[in-house]
């Protein structure tokens, strides 16, 4: 993970990106380069700009200045019509889950595949299997508001991985989970990584980073402070 590096295999590149929310400078002069199949953490204190940075990747927000290239596409020049296709490259676990309250768990997860025009047969099989992975196969017909925080988060994880996306963006994917569930989710993300996806996790949780290891981008007040590689450490402090 070398910022502004020019490797052939990079999937996300940013050049001198700024993002302002009105007078507020949320991101300042970010330059980075994420290679295909990397496992990256974005860390930093509350309000540092982690979520905002992820937003720029999937065009959740246009940059105020600078260039973003996703899989070769320059987002400054992407036509409106192509945005849905850009977003299908991503599987996103949102910090606030963003589940549709009026749709069942099954429908929420199936939505990604339906939107991508997949066959009903395939959808059913995939959705069920992915819900089994997050241990929610018995809540298919529940509605998100009747789920616990952790359960909602696991549905969000399921939805993010169901479409076999090229890139996973996970914003605090284990914030509401106990250690066991968190490990399950982490295992899932690692599995997706092994099968070839690029995984980007925004988190403030140092334990999580230590558990897996990977490239760490450290943000502070909108600036990319450091970019280091952290080795996987087994940390077995038990309760």
Ligand X SMILES: Nc1ncnc2c1ncn2[C@@H]1O[C@H](COP(=O)(O)OP(=O)(O)OP(=O)(O)O)[C@@H](O)[C@H]1O
Q: Which residues bind ligand X (CB under 6 A)?
A: 21, 24, 26, 44, 46-52, 95, 146-151, 176, 204
Is 46 a binding residue for Mg ion by CB under 5 A? The answer is no
Contacts of 129 (CB under 8 A, 6+ apart): none
For another protein, give the closer residue by CB, 159 or 211: 159
Tokens for 141, please give them.
């017909």
Contacts of 204 (CB under 8 A, 6+ apart): 43, 44, 45, 46, 50, 172
Contact characters 213-232, another protein, x per CB under 8 A: --------------------
Q: How far apart are CA 223 and CA 229, in angstroms?
A: 18
Is 62 a binding residue for another protein by CB under 8 A? The answer is no
**Chosen from ligand X, another protein, a second copy, none, partner binding at 239 (C-beta under 5 to 8 Å by type):** a second copy
Is 226 in a helix, a strand, or coil?
A: strand
Rg, Å, the chain Cα set: 18
**Chosen from another protein, ligand X, a second copy, none, partner binding at 114 (C-beta under 5 to 8 Å by type):** another protein
**Chosen from another protein, a second copy, ligand X, none, partner binding at 103 (C-beta under 5 to 8 Å by type):** another protein
Is 148 a binding residue for Mg ion by CB under 5 A? The answer is yes
Please check whether residue 35 is in contact with residue 6, taking contact to mean a CB–CB distance below 8 angstroms: no
Q: Where are the alpha helices (DSSP H) in the chain?
A: 50-57, 83-87, 105-115, 120-133, 149-162, 179-194, 206-212
Is 159 a binding residue for another protein by CB under 8 A? The answer is yes
Is 170 a binding residue for another protein by CB under 8 A? The answer is no
Binding part of the chain for Mg ion, among 60-68, 71-79, 87-95, 181-189 by CB under 5 A, reads: 87-95
Compute CA 121 distance to the chain's CA centroid, rounded to the nearest angstrom. 27
For another protein, give the closer residue by CB, 14 or 54: 54
Helix, strand and coil in the chain, % to nearest 5: 35, 30, 35
For a second copy, give the closer residue by CB, 71 or 183: 183
List residues binding another protein (CB under 8 A).
58, 60, 81, 83-85, 87-88, 90, 92, 94, 98-103, 111-112, 114-116, 120, 159, 163
């Amino acid at each position: 993970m070398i910022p502004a590096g020019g490797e052939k295999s990079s999937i996300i590149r940013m050049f001198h990106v700024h993002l302002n929310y009105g007078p507020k400078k949320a991101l300042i002069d970010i330059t980075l380069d994420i290679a295909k199949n990397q496992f990256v953490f974005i860390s930093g204190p509350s309000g540092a700009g982690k979520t905002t940075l992820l937003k720029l990747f999937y065009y959740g927000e246009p940059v105020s200045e600078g260039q973003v290239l996703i899989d070769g596409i320059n987002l400054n020049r992407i036509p409106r019509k192509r945005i849905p296709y850009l977003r299908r490259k991503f599987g996103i676990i949102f910090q606030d889950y963003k589940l549709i309250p009026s749709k069942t768990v099954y429908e929420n997860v199936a939505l990604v595949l339906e939107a991508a025009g997949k066959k009903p047969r395939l959808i059913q099989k995939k959705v069920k299997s992915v819900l089994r992975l997050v241990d929610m196969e018995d809540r298919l017909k529940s509605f998100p508001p009747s789920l616990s925080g952790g359960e909602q988060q696991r549905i969000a994880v399921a939805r993010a991985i169901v479409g076999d996306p090229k890139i996973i963006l996970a914003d605090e994917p284990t914030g509401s989970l106990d250690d066991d569930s968190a490990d399950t989710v982490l295992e899932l993300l690692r599995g997706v990584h092994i099968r070839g996806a690029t995984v980007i996790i925004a988190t403030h949780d140092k334990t999580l980073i230590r558990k897996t290891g990977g490239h760490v981008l450290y943000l502070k007040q909108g600036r990319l402070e450091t970019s280091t590689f952290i080795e996987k450490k087994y940390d077995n402090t038990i309760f």
